[in-house]
Structure formats: C-alpha cells, structure tokens
Amino acid sequence: MGMAGESQNWVLMVTAQTPTNIAVIKYWGKRDESLILPVNDSISVTLDPDHLCTTTTVAVSSSFQQDRMWLNGKEIPLSGGRYQNCLREIRNRASDVEDKKQGIRITKEDWGKLHLHIASYNNFPTAAGLASSAAGFACLVFALAKLMNVKEDESKLSAIARQGSGSACRSLYGGFVKWKMGREEDGNDSLAVQLVNEEHWDDLFIIIAVVSSRQKETSSTTGMRESVQTSLLLQHRAKEVVPKRILQMEEAIRNRDFASFAQLTCADSNQFHAVCLDTSPPIFYMNDTSHRIISIIEKWNRSEETPQVAYTFDAGPNAVLIARNRKTAASLIQRLLYYFPPNTDDLSSYIIGDKSILQDAGLEGIKDVEALLPPPEIKDNIPSQKYNGDVSYFICTRPGRGPVLLSDEGQALLNPVTGLPK
C-alpha cells in the first residue's frame, strides 16, 4: 500500500450535512428497479438543513476490519444493494488523497482495499415520514466523495445517490432542483440539476404538519412497484401529464409566480395520490386529517384573490404547506392552530423549527391559541369543529441550501482516534 502513517491508528474523516427535499412535481414509478430510474422527471424544493437534515461522518483507516455503519447511534447492516451500489460507485471514482498533517497518503488503488466507518444522524424523527432516506443517501455519497477526493460535480454525484434512494439525488443541491429522468439504459443521464438556488425565491415559508396516524403505511418502494404494475393511469400521468407540468413548474419557479406554483404543486400532489388509489390493492397515504388540511387550504385559497398556500403530501399523511411569504405563513399557523390546537399547554414542543413565526402570528402562549377566532373564510355561523391530537407537531422552515462540509471536528459523529461513534 502507498499509505504512510506513524502508526496503524490513523483515521481520516469527513463530516457533511445534507438537506432533505420535498417534491412539488412528484416521482412515482421506476422504469428500472435496480438502477432506480424513474418514469418521469420530478422537481423538488430543498428544505433548510437547520430544521431537517442528515449529518454524516465517514472515516477510513487501515485499522478498520470491515465497512460499518451507524444510523442515529444504532449499528445497521450495510449489506443491502442500495448501500453497496453507492459504495461501489464512489470507490470506482476515488482519487489519490494526501493528508500532510497526519502524514497519510492514500492512492486511487488503495480505496478498494480500505474499509469505511459511517455514522449518520437525522435531526428530525426518522419515523415521521419526512424523506429521511433522501437526505441520508445524499449525505453518504457527498461525504464519501469528499473523503475519497472524487472529482465529479454534484450532478454526477446525484446519479450515484439516486442508486441509494431515488429522491436522494435531489438533495445534492439547495433551492429548486430537477431530477431529469434520463434516457440512457445505464442511468448515467438520470441525475439532478439545480434550477435556482435558495436565494432566488426566499420569500417562501414552509410549515410541515406531522400528522398522527394509526395505519401502517406501504413503503414507497413497494407502493410504486405496485402502481407501475397495476395502475392504468400511471403511464398516462408519466407520459402525457408530467412533461407539460415540468415545463410549467420551471417557468413558475423562474418567475416566482406563486399562483402557478401553488396550482401545479397541489394538482400534482393530488394526482400522485390518485395514482396510488388507482393501484391494486389501493394505497392510501392521506388520511382524514390530511383531507381536512387540504380542505382548510383550498377554502382559504379560494376566498382570496390568489392562492396563499400550496400543499403537497408524500408517501404518508404529513402535509407540507408552502406559504407565499412570512406574512401568509403567520396567517397559516393561526389557522392550523385554530383547527388543530395542541393537546397540552406546551406550545414550544408543538411548534418546532423556526418558532419566530409564532411572534409574527401574535401567539406567545396557549392562551393566545385558545383565543383564536375562526378564519374569516368560514362564513356559516356553525362553530367549527376542533381536532386536538390529530397533528403531532408542526415544523416551521423554509427553502434551504445544499450539502456542506462541516470542518469543525466537534460536529463529527465518529471519534477521530478510534473511528467509532462518539
């Protein structure tokens, strides 16, 4: 080996932070299961990693006996094809690395023989159905690429992350991102490109309603396979509907045209769920609470001259609500708390993320929530029903940046000496 170290105990590590993303034109259906090639393009908005992100530390050492990984502190097997595909593709692109301070030199050829330790942590509940695998695989691939001195750009890296989890490819960039489905059989042109960065449209504010659910949900992998096999509407959507919507959405984003953006986002979310329902057996990701949130937004949007809020739902009941600006977001949180007040007095654990929106909305405490009046678009005098307990909590956030390296060793998840989780 070309590695030179004072002892066998050197550890070289890199820590990265990668955002999650939410599709506004949905990915649903693969044309190639193993390469994860989709049946249509999709577009997403990257969420601020301050509130929703994955942090991953990857380490290499000649003392490591095997590839190992820890997710949220718990060791998990790396034997799955998705991890193996990402590791293989990154290793194939590795370059020489030299760390003069530690006196380490690793050649391109060494990478195939060295083992890796990987530790990953989500700053949000994994079970909440918030695309943790998207941020996770993006972060894994981004961190490994930095560690191994892979020279390819984010777009090329996105095609590797795609092989871990399709939507992961869209987490390699901030702002608005398009996953081009590509045409090539090997999938090399199925990758993400940035449409605009996070500064282009920084008025937007996002509130995620994490909805309580008693149902066990169909995994998106299984769900989209069954949709491809059984839905008679999916191919029509993929071939006839989505290509036009992609063009319209790109234009709406370019022009910061919120009315078009909201119309397309809501329609595409609903159509994705329509295809799920057209699957045999049918897949229900939205529940009565999801429906109720849609009705609240639709009624409000229709009462205004132009849409105020867009909604979109992934493979679960959680609502992602995109408000046209902070002022609208303050009105939105008032409406949400009016219908879905917390079950306890503790507002600060019920509204997480960018809590400053509560001040904007004049909601300092539970008393202010209890004093909320019905929204003006409710015209009938029947007091509206309240749905305490139907939402677990709300996350307040905004569009955000792409992956970054964390150079502060204090943020690493692995011990720099042992290479094991801290």
Residues that bind its own copies (CB under 8 A): 214-215, 230, 232-233, 236-237, 240-241, 263, 266-267, 270-271, 273-275, 277-282, 284, 287-288, 291, 294-295, 298, 302, 385
From the CB of 33, what's the least distance to its own copies, in Å? 22
Name the minimum Å distance from CB 233 to its own copies. 5
Tracing tokens 């999650």 back to the chain, one arrives at: 20
Q: What is the dihedral of CA 82, 86, 87, 91, to 10 degrees?
A: 150
Cβ contact 146:18 at 8 Å: no
Least separation in angstroms between residue 110's CB and its own copies is 48
The Cα–Cα gap between 109 and 106 comes to: 8
Cβ 385 to its own copies shortest distance, Å: 7
Whichever of 15 and 213 has its CB closer to its own copies, that residue is 213
Cα torsion angle, 57, 61, 63, 65, sign: positive
C-alpha pair distances (Å), 8 with each of 4, 102, 158 = 9, 12, 34
Q: Indicate the residue among 100 and 302 with the shorter CB distance to its own copies.
A: 302
Task: Give me the least distance between CB of 25 and its own copies, in Å please.
Answer: 13
Task: Work out how close the CB of 232 gets to its own copies at its nearest, in angstroms, rounded to a whole number.
Answer: 5
Contact criterion met (CB below 8 Å) for 41 and 75:
no
Pair 51, 123: CB distance under 8 Å: yes
State the nearest-atom distance from the C-beta of 273 to its own copies, in Å: 6
Question: Which residue, chain included where needed, has tokens 């194939």?
Answer: 92
Per-residue tokens: 260: 């078009």
CB-nearer residue toward its own copies: 44 or 279: 279
By C-beta, is 74 or 302 nearer to its own copies?
302
CB atoms within 10 A of CB 244: 10
Strands 37-38 and 68-71: unpaired
Q: Decide: 205 and 309 in contact? Cβ < 8 Å.
A: no
Between 140 and 297, CB nearer to its own copies: 297
Judged by beta carbon, residue 39 or residue 140, the one nearer its own copies is: 39
CB-wise, 27 or 111, nearer to its own copies? 27
Question: What DSSP state is assigned to residue 283?
Answer: -
User: At 328, is the secondary structure helix, strand, or coil?
Assistant: helix
